[in-house]
Structure 1
Amino acid sequence: MLADRIASAIGESFKIPPPPTIAARVAGGSEIAFSHFKSQDVQFGLSTPSPRQEAFVFNIPLISTRYPVVSIDGRRQSVIQDPGKAYLFDLSSKNEISLETAYNSVRFHIPQTAIDHMGYEKGLPRVGGLSAKFLGQDDLVLYNLALTILLAILKSTQVTTAFVEYIALAFHDHVVHTYGGVRKCGCAGMGGLAPWQIRRACDYIEANLVNDPSIAMLSQECGLSTSYFARAFRTSTGMTPHQWITRRRIERAKSLMAHTTESLAQISVMCGFVDQSHLGRHFLKQESTSPAQWRRRQSGRALFKSEDLEV
């Protein structure tokens, strides 16, 4: 898997334990990876260059960090990396970075194959590569995506596959326009799904809530590309696929809490949540109460109804 390879390569290059890394499978079976790249230990020397490959890395710092040496194909410079800026590295070059500093950042890894396959899906002209005006370009979009995906990296078992895929789609869309020279389409917004596609997607989600349905699976059910499906689904439902999946899981949990005596821990797993605390966090966000409190209220209402029938 790309995530394991990336984590191992970063660990070897920077002499740190393999950082937590997740990946999203996108068009053509290619993947985009996200890593939380962090160290508090100051070391000496430079990082070990990774094998050259047709891929690109965006380093998005979460704290200000001064690197005394950043070497790209032998050209050295001192760089202060600041939050809110994106630092693009072409992995076909020989990249070395001094290890004499503490750092904390999110790393986006996108192979050229992912750029090509996703661009083809969207009907875009081929992007021969990515380039920035200078090392350290203001990019609040990538900074906010980094903050969003960071939660998924740190709690990878508690996020839907569809959520990580959605971030990957948004990341690709942004970088091909900002760093790949592809002009944004000025046409009107795209339409939604056909009624049969909405039914097919929603039925598939209901049948697979516990199995973590992905955007790739849903788009295949509807005969669409992943990028088109994700945008059309949001147009039709007002929600992203992962938001819809989470909402349906909570609705199923409510039904089970109201009509069965299963424990909250059992219901959580039956609805696709990792555990009871995972259900609790999403339930509180949507219902503004805990599952236990909601269940007690439902039990009280059922008691009142039965007493009314006896009168």
Structure 2
Amino acid sequence: MTTTGAYGERFGEFLRLEGAPPTLMTRSLRSTEIAVTETRNDNPVPGLSGSFAAEDAYLVSLKLRDYPDCELWEQGRHIKKADVHAGTTYIYDLKADPRYVIDKPLHSLHFYVPRSALDGLADQSGARRIDALDCGLVGHDDAIVRHIGASLREGLRRPAEANQLFIDHMMLGLTAHVAQAYGGFRHKAEISRGALAPWQLARARDKLESDLGGKLPLQAIAAELGLSVSHFSRAFRASTGLPPYRWLLHHRVRTAKRLMSARGLSLSEVAISSGFANQSHFTRVFSELAGISPGAWRRDALGTAGRQR
């Protein structure tokens, strides 16, 4: 896959990696691409990294491995050398052509956030657009970026199991967080934080139930209701107590229980029919939400049904 932004295949070229690194992407804000790429190289060839084309966009980089004596370059000039510690977050302005010397093992997550996504967030919220993100903070511990990064790493490892609603939710949260924490973005106070109207909730549930695989993006559901993605996400949670991607997981489990209550289907068939990627994915999610494995639940359910007859 050839990309135009600083993610995916282009990031592999930037760091001289073999093949395209794992990447997840959303288009929930103005159909703008927001992406996360995981890069790792345990045995790099020493040298200066490649260069991205200058663009009005940012990289929010979560370091997953210590990188002592990191040499940073911007606009063709050596800027500084500093120790980079695992768990810290850095923000780079892609207009400044950030590069660094690759001379030791590396492992990071990089969130690609273009200016158009930040503008889209402000426009959807009816708020003032931010001027810029603060890229001057050096190696700070950002618990929210760490949490979002840890959640998305699961999806990067098992992309077939990461439904698009989950990716959209996490990337929207990341964009809103960096806009607030590093750009001074604020939602307008008068924005409604109420629940969906009954007809909106019914239609949203219908859309979610019609796509158990979770391929339908948040943007499509929100547009169906005439709402922005951020407004829809907040209102859906106010109505149900769960974000859309989490509600869908619970609905998958409810569907699986109905299927397992009838004899004849294998657990693998139940998994696929309920929207899970495979039986392993089904078992993990079902056990987390139901507190019991699918096999044990079915034995109990069928045993109870047999005793009642």
CA distance in 1, matches of 2:108, 2:17: 14
CA distance in 2, matches of 1:286, 1:2: 38
Unaligned runs of 5+ in 2: none
Question: For 1:209, what is the secondary structure of its paired residue?
Answer: coil
Number of the residue aligned with 1:309: none
Question: For 2:120, what is the secondary structure of its paired residue?
Answer: helix
Deviations 1:211-249 (A, max 9, x none): 533322221222111111011111111111111000001
**How far off is 1:182 after superposition?**
2.2
Number of the residue aligned with 1:55: 57
Unaligned runs of 5+ in 1: 307-311
Question: For 2:95, what is the secondary structure of its paired residue?
Answer: coil
**How far off is 1:135 after superposition?**
3.2
Number of the residue aligned with 1:259: 262
Choose between structure 1 and 2: higher helix proportion. 1
**How far off is 1:113 after superposition?**
1.4
Number of the residue aligned with 1:269: 272
| Mapping for residues 213-252 of structure 1, pairs under 5 Å | 213-252=216-255
Question: Structure 2: which amino acid aligns with 1:8?
Answer: E
CA distance in 1, matches of 2:60, 2:214: 31
Identity of aligned pairs, percent?
Answer: 28
Question: For 2:152, what is the secondary structure of its paired residue?
Answer: helix
Question: For 1:78, what is the secondary structure of its paired residue?
Answer: strand
Which runs of 4 or more aligned residues in structure 1 lie more than 4 Å from their structure 2 counterparts after TM superposition?
1-5, 184-189
Question: For 1:203, what is the secondary structure of its paired residue?
Answer: helix
Deviations 1:130-188 (A, max 9, x none): 22333323322212211121111111110211111111111111111122122455679
CA distance in 2, matches of 1:109, 1:58: 7
CA contact (8 A) 2:2 2:9 kept: no
Number of the residue aligned with 2:37: 35
| TM-score between both structures, scaled by the size of structure 1 | 0.92
Number of the residue aligned with 2:124: 121
Which stretch shows the higher mean deviation, 275-284 or 290-299?
290-299
CA distance in 2, matches of 1:19, 1:223: 36
| Mapping for residues 89-100 of structure 1, pairs under 5 Å | 89-100=92-103
CA distance in 1, matches of 2:124, 2:69: 38
Number of the residue aligned with 2:8: 7
**How far off is 1:303 after superposition?**
1.3
Question: For 1:134, what is the secondary structure of its paired residue?
Answer: coil
CA contact (8 A) 1:230 1:241 kept: yes
Question: Structure 1: which amino acid aligns with 2:54?
Answer: R
| TM-score between both structures, scaled by the size of structure 2 | 0.93
RMSD: 2.0
Question: For 2:111, what is the secondary structure of its paired residue?
Answer: strand
